Amino acid sequence: MRWFALMMLILALLWIVPVGAQQTIRLTAWTIGPEEASRTRATNLVEAAQRLNKALEEEKAPYRVSVETSFETTNWDTHRRRILLAFQSGKAPDIVQAAHIDVAPWSDAGYIIPLDPYLDKYPSFKDVIPTLWNAVKYKGKIWGVPQDTEARPFYFNKELLGKLGWSAADIAALPRMIREGKFTWQDVLKVGKEAVDRGVVARGYGYWHRPVRGPDFYHFYYNFGGRLQDPRTGQLIFTQAAALEMFRFFDEMAAQGVTRRDLIGTPWPIWHRTITDGRVLFWSAGTWSWAEWATQYVKDRGGYEYLWPRFGFALQPASAPGRKPITLSQPMAYMVWSGSRQKDLAVRLLSFVLTPELDTKHAVGSAHLAVLKSTTKYGPYVKDRFLRQVTYMLNYTTFQPVHPRFGQYDEIFFRALSAVEAGRVRPEEAVRIVADELRATLRDQVIIE
C-alpha cells in the first residue's frame, strides 16, 4: 500500500512539474507581397525558425521558437495602415517586413529598434551586400535587416517589334543599345508612335508605366537630372528643370498617342493582362513582375516558357543622347518592433533567414535579387536564367530618399504628374504647383532648386 502511495505521489509530481519541459516561444511576423510569388518573405521565416531550433537544440537551450506569419496580398496601403494601427495600439508583431524607406517615420516614432548592437553578433549579417545596409540606415543607425532587392526594367514585346520590321538581331541588341545610351526615351517615343501609326498597336498602347502611385516615377525624374535628397543635410530636393522636362515628356507621349491619357487608374489585373496578352509594345515594371506574369497571368500558357520568346528586358533608357540609362531599387527589410518582448530572439531569427539557400529560394521564386554576397556565387542562383541577365542592373540603380516626410513629397508629385498626363494641367503649371505645395508643406525640409 505504501509503495502504491509513493508511486502515485511520484506520478502526481511528474504531472504537476514536467521536469525538463521545453518552452516554445511564439514570434509573430507580418509580411507583404503583394504578389503571390513573394510569399517566401513569410515562409522563409518559418524555415529559418526550424534552423534556429536546431541550433537551440545543440546549445541545449530550454526553449524552442515557432513563427506565426501573415502575408498581405492586397496592397501596400492596407499593409502599412495595419502595421501603423498595430504599433499605436501596442499590439504589433515582433517582426514587420516593409520597404527600406519606411524606416524613417517608424524609427522617428520609436516603433522599431536600431539593430547596430547585433551586427557583430551574428556572422550572417556580415554577408549582406554593403550598399543594402546603407538603404536601411537613417540618422546614422541601421533599422532593418535587408530582405531582398530588385531592379525595375524596361520591357519590350519582341513579336510587336518584329511586326515593325526589326530583325531578331536588332531585337537581341536592344538591351545593349540601351545600356550604351544609343536607344533613349526619344527613340521609345519615335518607335512607339510608328507602331501606333502603322496599326501594330492601338493608340495609347505604345508605352505603359505603372498605373498607380509608386516608386517607378522617380527613375524618370532621376533620368531627367532630378535630385531627391541632399546627402549632406538630409533635406529633400525638388529640381524644377528636371521635373519640367519629365512632365513635358509624359505630356508628349500622351499627346502623340504613344501612351494613354487615362492610363493612371487602370486596375492592376487589367494592366498585367493587357501586357501579357501582347497588346503593348514597351512598358516599365519590376523584376518581380516577370515571376508574377509567369505564375499568375500566363501560367496556363506555359509560364516562363511563354515569356522568354515574346518579351525582353533592359535598363530604363537614358532620357536623351549623352545621358545614362538607369533603374531604381526599393529594397525590402525586416524590422523588429520596439514593444516586442522577444527582441533578441527576433533578431537572432532574422540572422537565420540570411542564408544563400533561403535567399536564393526567394530570389528565384519571386524574381527579386539577392541580398547576400554568398548568394551571388551560389549555384542555383547563378544558374537562374532571368536573375543572371538582370543582376547587372544593380550597377545602374538608384534609391528613393529615406526621409519621414517623403510621403508628402510624393503625394503632390504624383498627383501633379497624373494631372499632366491626363491633359488637365500644363507641365509648366504642374511644376509651379509642386514647388509651391512643397514649400508650403515641407518648409525647411525641402530645397527647391
Partner 1 sequence: MRRVSSAGFFLLPASLLILFFFLLPVAATLLLSMTDLSTATFSRPSWVGMGNYLDLLRSRWTGLILKNTAQYVLLVLLFNVGMGLFLAITTSLLPDRLGDSIRAVWLVPRITPPVVYILIWQAMLSEAPYGLLSTLTGTSRNWLSGFPWHAVILANGLIGASLGMLIFTSAIHTIPPDLFYAAAIDGATTWQTIRRVVLPLLRWPIMFVTAYQTLSLLTSFEYILLLTDGGPGLYTTEVWALSAYHLAFSNYYGNARFGLGAAMAAVLVIIGIVVSVAYLRGFRFRELVQEPRVEVT
Of 80, 219, 248, 362, the one binding partner 1 by CB under 8 A: 80
Of 275, 284, 406, 431, the one binding partner 1 by CB under 8 A: 406
Per CB under 8 A, does 424 bind partner 1? Answer: yes
Q: Quick one: 49 or 196, whose CB is closer to partner 1?
A: 196
Residues 6+ positions from 61 with CB-CB distance below 8 Å: none
Residues 6+ positions from 414 with CB-CB distance below 8 Å: 213, 217
Per CB under 8 A, does 404 bind partner 1? Answer: yes
Q: Are 197 and 190 in contact (CB under 8 A)?
A: no
Cell of 322: 549623352
Q: Quick one: 226 or 356, whose CB is closer to partner 1?
A: 226
Q: How far is the CB of 33 from partner 1 (least distance, A)?
A: 16
Number of residues that bind partner 1 (CB under 8 A): 49
Per CB under 8 A, does 139 bind partner 1? Answer: no
Going along 107-193, which residue ranges are E strands? 137-138, 141-142, 145-148, 154-157
Per CB under 8 A, does 362 bind partner 1? Answer: no
Q: How far is the CB of 411 from partner 1 (least distance, A)?
A: 8
The amino acid that residue 363 corresponds to is A
Q: Are 281 and 157 in contact (CB under 8 A)?
A: yes
Q: How far is the CB of 142 from partner 1 (least distance, A)?
A: 18
What is the distance between the alpha carbons of residues 308 and 45, in angstroms, rounded to a whole number? 31
β-bridge mates for residue 336, sequence order: 95
Q: How far is the CB of 330 from partner 1 (least distance, A)?
A: 11
Per CB under 8 A, does 255 bind partner 1? Answer: no
Q: Quick one: 213 or 343, whose CB is closer to partner 1?
A: 213
Q: Which of residues 176-215 bind partner 1 (CB under 8 A)?
A: 202, 213-214
Per CB under 8 A, does 108 bind partner 1? Answer: yes
The window from 22-30, 158-166, 265-273, 380-388 that contacts partner 1 (CB under 8 A) reads 265-273
β-bridge mates for residue 30, sequence order: 70, 96
Cell of 74: 492586397
Q: Which of residues 270-309 bind partner 1 (CB under 8 A)?
A: 270, 273-274
Per CB under 8 A, does 140 bind partner 1? Answer: no
The window from 6-14, 26-34, 304-312, 405-413 that contacts partner 1 (CB under 8 A) reads 405-413
Per CB under 8 A, does 263 bind partner 1? Answer: yes
Q: How far is the CB of 242 from partner 1 (least distance, A)?
A: 20
Of 419, 431, 438, 446, the one binding partner 1 by CB under 8 A: 419
What is the distance between the alpha carbons of residues 316 and 323, in angstroms, rounded to a whole number? 12
Q: Are 222 and 332 in contact (CB under 8 A)?
A: no
Q: Quick one: 100 or 179, whose CB is closer to partner 1?
A: 100
Per CB under 8 A, does 386 bind partner 1? Answer: no
Per CB under 8 A, does 407 bind partner 1? Answer: yes
Of 106, 247, 381, 386, the one binding partner 1 by CB under 8 A: 106
Q: How far is the CB of 106 from partner 1 (least distance, A)?
A: 7
* H and E: helices and strands count for the chain: 19, 15
Of 26, 81, 299, 383, the one binding partner 1 by CB under 8 A: 81
Residues 6+ positions from 315 with CB-CB distance below 8 Å: 153, 154, 175, 178, 179, 325, 326, 327, 393, 396
How far, in Å, are 65, 97, 119, 154, 304 from residue 28 at the CA level?
10, 11, 22, 37, 34
Exposure of 134 in the CB half-sphere (CA atoms within 13 A)? 9
What is the distance between the alpha carbons of residues 4 and 144, in angstroms, rounded to a whole number? 59
CB atoms within 10 A of CB 213: 17
The window from 65-73, 107-115, 238-246, 313-321 that contacts partner 1 (CB under 8 A) reads 107-115
Of 62, 117, 267, 302, the one binding partner 1 by CB under 8 A: 267
How far, in Å, are 165, 185, 188, 217, 321 from residue 318 at the CA level?
23, 6, 10, 14, 7
Per CB under 8 A, does 413 bind partner 1? Answer: no
Q: Are 159 and 172 in contact (CB under 8 A)?
A: no
CA 207 centroid distance within chain:
22
Q: How far is the CB of 235 from partner 1 (least distance, A)?
A: 15
- Contacting residues toward partner 1, per CB under 8 A: 76-77, 80-81, 84, 87-88, 101-102, 104-106, 108-111, 202, 213-214, 260-267, 270, 273-274, 404-408, 410-411, 415-416, 418-419, 422, 424-425, 433, 436-437, 440-441
